[in-house]
Amino acid sequence: MPLFLLTCGGGVIVGILLARLYLWATRRVRDIPVSVLLQFIGTFGVWLLASRLGLSSIITLIAYAMTIARRVPGRIDARRRISSYAVWDVAVFVLNVLAFVLIGLQLRAILTRVPDSQWHVYLWSAGAVCATVILVRFVWVMCHNRIAHWRLRRSRAQAARERGRPMTMPTIGGGLIVSWCGMRGIVTLAAAMALPDGSAADAFPHRDLILFCAFAVVVLTLVLQGMTLRPLMAWIGLEDDGSVDREVRLARVETARAALKALDGPDHSASLETLRREYEARIRMVQDEPQGTGASQSSATLADALRRAVAAQRRALLELRARSIIGDDAFHVAEEEIDLLELTADERVRPET
């Protein structure tokens, strides 16, 4: 157990340090193909380095990715982010397919090595692991819901202030849905396949049994839980509470206000007046306010003013997430909208006026 904790704890520390080192080393990279290539090199390099150091490669890579995900949104421009997302979406899809193909090939070899007298052990073990995985998630989620319900009943207003976002009372139906959404996939397979293999002396004890149980968990949760999730939601009658939509509206208003503040100045021009009206219309559209007029102008070009406004919007959006006023879903929706605005400020898209 101490060795396990040391391996995991060391993986977290090393992952965070490597993420900071990667961000520092690539801070001046602007070329999109080079940036995407470095992302792949960094990801696989972290895995190989953690394996060489004797740390948990999965834990190290998760800590590395989470650190970058929290810090990188304000450090890269829209072109690199949109291009990176497109490449990684395809890469993740292909890697998922290859992982399932690989585990299928390994499963075939495992089945040929299992003695007939051991089949009942494999089947019972796989069944017990699958039942444990599902039941433990139910117990964990329901206990969390009960504790959260009890805390909110005692001091709902105080809890809302602590979290920064309005807290809704947990329900049994919502807890059932969250519990039933515990589908396992590539991480489960990667963790099992990362166990040492080789001769009988070097291989991890009962590695074939662990791989068989991991495959059973993935198949059962994806097929059973995945195919029954929609009927379960319909049976419970779960409806969207609109929290993400509210947060998106809040993010749009606050980022537009930040952009208008960034455009304030003594200079005047018709182009800046046009840009200001666009942001004022954006706020009115969200808040359904009566039409107003904007009179301030700036001598800066429209593209320069738009870049300044986009930078202010991005800072405001990052602050909203840092203060837990909006969640990740609303953050990514607003981030995508700001990225599209930033693209319009590019000289290759909007010429100087």
Chain segment 276-305, per-residue pLDDT in tens: 777 776 677 666 544 443 333 333 456 677
- The predicted structure's pLDDT at residue 18: 92
Query: How far is the C-alpha of 43 from the C-alpha of 35, rounded, in Å?
Result: 12
- The predicted structure's pLDDT at residue 350: 45
Interacting residues of 320 by C-beta distance below 8 A, sequence separation 6+: 250, 251, 254, 326, 331
Over residues 17-45, the mean pLDDT reads 88
- The predicted structure's pLDDT at residue 265: 67
Over residues 19-24, the mean pLDDT reads 90
Over residues 163-178, the mean pLDDT reads 71
Query: How far is the C-alpha of 347 from the C-alpha of 343, rounded, in Å?
Result: 9
- The predicted structure's pLDDT at residue 17: 92
Over residues 151-161, the mean pLDDT reads 59
Over residues 99-123, the mean pLDDT reads 79
Q: Is the pLDDT of residue 49 over 80?
A: yes
Instruction: At 156, list the tokens.
Output: 């709902």
pLDDT tens, residue by residue, 58-74: 888 889 988 888 887 76
Averaged confidence pLDDT in the chain? 77
Over residues 332-352, the mean pLDDT reads 68
Count of other CB atoms within 10 angstroms of residue 3: 8
Residue 73 to residues 311, 331, 343: CA-CA distances in angstroms? 12, 10, 15
- The predicted structure's pLDDT at residue 290: 44
Q: Is the pLDDT of residue 149 over 80?
A: no
Delimit the domains of the chain by residue range: 2-111, 118-236, 243-344
Q: Is the pLDDT of residue 148 over 90?
A: no
CB 210 within 8 A of CB 197: no
Count of other CB atoms within 10 angstroms of residue 154: 9
What global pTM score does this model have? Answer: 0.53
